[in-house]
Amino acid sequence: MGTSTEASLSRVERRKARTNKRLLEVARQLFSEKGIYWAKVEDITELADLGKGTFYKYFDSKEQIISALVEEGLSELLAKTEAAVLAVSTDGRIIPNVIGARVDFFLAYPDYLLLLHQVRGLMQLQVGVAEELRVIYAKHLSRIAKLVKPVIGSTSAHDVAVAIAAYTSGLMTYHLLFEGIEGIRRRRNELVLALDQSVQALLKAGRPRA
């Protein structure tokens, strides 16, 4: 008994966990609103109602909180996706469910849409943080690839995973720009359907990978 993660921690430890979480939430919001560059560490601590120095008790640097957010976000996204796959009735539902889970994740946490978009750009640069982020992202895609493996024919599972991720994020980001998050939310089913068809088309196509 009493071995739940939360309960087993001392009051102090629970407090720390809460502060850590608040910093992550606030950072996610600000990175999405102002961009990872324009959002200042002080903006974060201020919105979190903490002293500026406190930030560095929880994260080594601004770069590191970005990594932490990406890790947390992709991990949560993966969890939701895996749950959606487990809930599947027939293999044919795997891909639409994966896509649905992704879309729903970004509808639930729209900040991640822009944060991850920025991070995908960052990853490609010849810049310090990039390498670590690349590893995190690659791992995520591998896991997605594994999930869809059962339903793809000769197509590369990795290519399909990439297509799912790329199409979903691409489409949602564009629509976010022109219609806002509410616009996307209203068209949720339509988007999932369209994305599913787009991805299915790839599979039928035989082998996008020669």
Partner DNA sequence: TATGAATGAGTGTTCATTCAT
Partner DNA sequence: AATGAATGAACACTCATTCAT
Q: Which residues bind its own copies (CB under 8 A)?
A: 33-35, 37-38, 114, 117-118, 120-127, 134, 137-138, 162-163, 165-167, 169-171, 173-178, 187, 190-191, 193-194, 197-202, 204-205, 208-210
| Residue 12: contacted member of its own copies, DNA, none (CB under 5 to 8 Å, by partner type) | DNA
Structure tokens at 55: 């930030």
| Residue 112: contacted member of DNA, its own copies, none (CB under 5 to 8 Å, by partner type) | none
Hey, which residues between 30 and 69 contact DNA (CB under 7 A)?
A: 38, 40-42, 49-58, 61-63
Closer residue to DNA (CB): 55 or 105: 55
**Binding positions for DNA, rule: CB under 7 A:** 11-12, 15-16, 19, 38, 40-42, 49-58, 61-63
